Each structure stands twice: as C-alpha cells, then as structure tokens.
C-alpha cells in the first residue's frame, strides 16, 4: 500500500487558497487605503489567510505592496500601449486620459490610481516605496515625452513645442484626476476635464 503522506509530499499538496486571488485582494486594499493605511489585519482579512501564511508566501508587507503594484501596472499596461499607438498626439492624450478616467472610477474597484494613492500619506520609513512609485510615474512621463517628440518631428505638433513640458502637463492632469476620483469625482466629471484639455491642445 502506498504511503499517502509521501505521495502528497512528492506531488505537492494543493493550497487551501488561491494565491493569485489573494494578491488581487491585497492590491485592492492597498489601492483603497494606501501602503501605511493598510494594516496587516486589513490585508489578512481580505486575503483570507493568517499572518504566518502571508509572510511565508509573500514576504513582508513591503514586498506584498511591490507585488500588488506590479500586478496593477501589468493590468493597465495594454491600455497605455494602445494609447501611444494612436496616430496623433491629441488622440494619444484623449485615449490615455479617458482610459485613466474610466479605470479610476470603475465599478467594484477602489477609485483613483494605486500608483498615486499608494504612497500619498507614506512617512519616512516608506521612502523606498515612494521612490519606486515616483520612478514608475517618471517612466510613463518619459514614454509620453518620446511620443510627443515624434509628433513634433512629424509636424503633428508645433515646432516650438517642448515635449517634456507637454508630457509633464498631461501626467499632472492624470495624477490630479486620480486624486479627484479618490475624493468622489464621477466618471462624467473626469471626462469633462479631458474635454477641457483637448480643447486647449496645441495645433
């Protein structure tokens, strides 16, 4: 007769929870409450696991947050790529900001943006996380700058356009929309902000 315990060790016992689903729940907690506002109790309750299991699988709270941000960013990357592929700079911005407005006000999800919400109230002990999120935002801005430089070369933007300043302006609007969404702004209100940006677009 085979030793069932040995068989289980060899094949690996199935986990009593879904790690992917647990990370999704952790992401939502961080998205809603930020890094420091999310207690370990908040996280374990949402993830359906105890603290020893959380540490064993995901490491400490900081590592869990980094994994949650990676998951969040990966989920939004396809829309960002699609926006950059629009034929004109104006269309890029319209696509990017409207997609952001939709994501920031999605039903059943925390409002705002995890990359913005996550470190709004972080203290000095969370400085590495704040810097990591700032680097992510800077990377998005740089990709937009490169797209605007291309638009200027192609004559889609005026020759005196500063691609860096324009990219910074668009990202500042996007970040501000995230804060407004977190404060209760509706999707319609955020789309009105996008309309105003497009009305003032350089041509």
Question: What is the domain-level CATH number for residue 171?
Answer: 1.10.357.10
Mean pLDDT by 10 residues, the chain (203 residues): 40 59 94 90 93 91 93 91 96 97 93 83 73 90 97 96 97 95 95 96 85
2 in any annotated domain? no
pLDDT digits (tens, 9 = 90+) for 36-46: 889 999 999 99
Q: Tally Cβ neighbours within 10 Å of residue 154.
A: 11
- Please give the Cα distance from 171 to 186 (Å, whole number): 19
What is the total count of domains within the chain?
1
Asked whether residue 7 is assigned to any structural domain, the reply reads: no
Per-residue confidence (pLDDT) for residue 134, from 0 to 100: 87
pLDDT of residue 132: 87
Query: Is residue 11 assigned to a domain?
Result: no
Q: Is residue 6 part of a domain?
A: no
Question: What pLDDT does residue 155 have?
Answer: 96
Token output for 15:
């986990």
Q: 104: closest CA among 94, 92, 115, 90? A: 115
Task: Take residue 22 and report the two structure tokens written for it.
Answer: 């647990």
Q: Is residue 163 part of a domain?
A: yes
In a domain, 9, yes or no: no
- The average confidence (pLDDT) of the chain is 88
Q: Is the pTM of this model over 0.85?
A: no
Q: Domain limits at 73?
A: 17-199
CA distances from 148 to 29, 99, 173, 197 (A): 35, 19, 16, 15
Predicted confidence at residue 14, as pLDDT, reads 43
What does the pLDDT read at residue 16? 53
Residue 84 lies in a domain: yes
Is 83 part of any domain?
A: yes
* Tens of pLDDT, residues 28-83: 999 988 888 899 999 999 999 999 999 999 999 999 999 999 999 999 889 999 99
Residue owning tokens 């990219």: 167
Q: What is the pLDDT of residue 4?
A: 40
pLDDT score, position 79: 92
């Amino acid at each position: 007769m085979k030793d069932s315990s040995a068989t289980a060790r060899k094949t690996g016992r199935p986990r009593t929870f879904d790690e992917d689903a647990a990370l999704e729940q952790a992401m939502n907690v961080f998205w809603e409450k930020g890094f420091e506002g999310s207690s370990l109790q908040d996280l374990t309750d949402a993830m359906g696991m105890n603290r020893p299991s959380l540490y064993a699988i995901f490491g400490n709270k900081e590592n869990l947050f980094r994994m949650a941000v990676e998951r969040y960013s990966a989920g939004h990357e396809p829309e960002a790529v699609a926006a950059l592929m629009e034929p004109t700079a104006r269309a890029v911005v319209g696509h990017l900001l409207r997609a952001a407005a939709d994501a920031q006000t999605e039903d059943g999800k925390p409002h705002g943006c995890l990359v913005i919400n996550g470190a709004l109230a972080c203290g000095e002990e969370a400085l590495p996380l704040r810097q990591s999120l700032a680097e992510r935002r800077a990377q998005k801005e740089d990709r937009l700058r490169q797209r605007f430089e291309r638009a200027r070369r192609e004559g889609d933007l005026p020759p005196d356009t500063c691609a860096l300043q324009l990219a910074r302006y668009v990202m500042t609007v996007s970040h501000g929309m995230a804060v407004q969404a977190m404060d209760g702004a509706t999707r319609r209100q955020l789309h009105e902000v996008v309309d105003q940006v497009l009305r003032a677009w350089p041509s």
